[in-house]
């Protein structure tokens, strides 16, 4: 039992790194296309996780986050296409966890990665006003999602067998 707790804590504080390379998009438009891909991937993942949430109020909250992310992705897609770039679509299946707490933790870790990318992109996109404005709007729309996910992880029981 102690190893289970220590493994859970280790995985929480030191999650596995993603196999995707989000580090350095070449241009601000490519960065925006990458942000679109990440927002869309996370929206789909959260929607899948919402379906498996153990309580209706958590299911509703996750569903709301997913809808907001899909709306953000639509706005970003419009800007990308207007700038002559093709939006990137997410590849692969959503990440899964063995219980509700692990799924929420995966969502939180992916939200943190998205926030970091958007911060970096906002700094790089300063010379392109249209992209800078879109990234700023995207960052502000994503801000509350991180806190909601933190709150949901905090109240979820990592030892529970909630499915």
Write down the pLDDT at residue 59. 95
Write down the pLDDT at residue 5. 73
Write down the pLDDT at residue 19. 44
Write down the pLDDT at residue 92. 85
- Return the domain boundaries, the chain: 27-155
Distance CA 58, CA 138 (A): 24
Write down the pLDDT at residue 70. 96
- All residue ranges of the chain with pLDDT < 50 are 1, 19-22
Residue indicated by tokens 């010379």: 127
Write down the pLDDT at residue 20. 47
CATH class belonging to 27-155: mainly alpha
Tokens of 109: 């870790």
Query: What's the half-sphere exposure (Cβ side, CA atoms, 13 Å) at 88?
Result: 17
Which is nearest to 39 in space by CA: 110, 130, 126?
A: 110
């Amino acid at each position: 039992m102690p190893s289970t707790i220590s493994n859970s804590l280790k995985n929480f504080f030191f999650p596995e790194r993603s196999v995707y390379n989000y580090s350095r998009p070449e241009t601000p438009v490519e960065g925006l296309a990458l942000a679109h891909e990440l927002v869309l991937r996370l929206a789909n993942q959260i929607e899948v996780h919402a379906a498996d949430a153990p309580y209706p109020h958590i299911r509703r909250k996750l569903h709301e986050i997913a809808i907001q992310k899909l709306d953000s992705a639509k706005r970003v897609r419009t800007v990308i296409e207007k700038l002559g770039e093709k939006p990137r679509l997410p590849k692969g299946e959503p990440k899964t966890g063995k219980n509700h707490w692990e799924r929420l933790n995966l969502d939180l870790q992916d939200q943190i990665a998205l926030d970091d990318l958007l911060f970096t992109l906002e700094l790089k996109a300063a010379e392109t006003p249209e992209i800078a404005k879109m990234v700023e709007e995207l960052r502000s729309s994503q801000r509350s999602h991180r806190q909601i996910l933190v709150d949901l992880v905090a109240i979820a029981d990592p030892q529970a067998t909630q499915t």
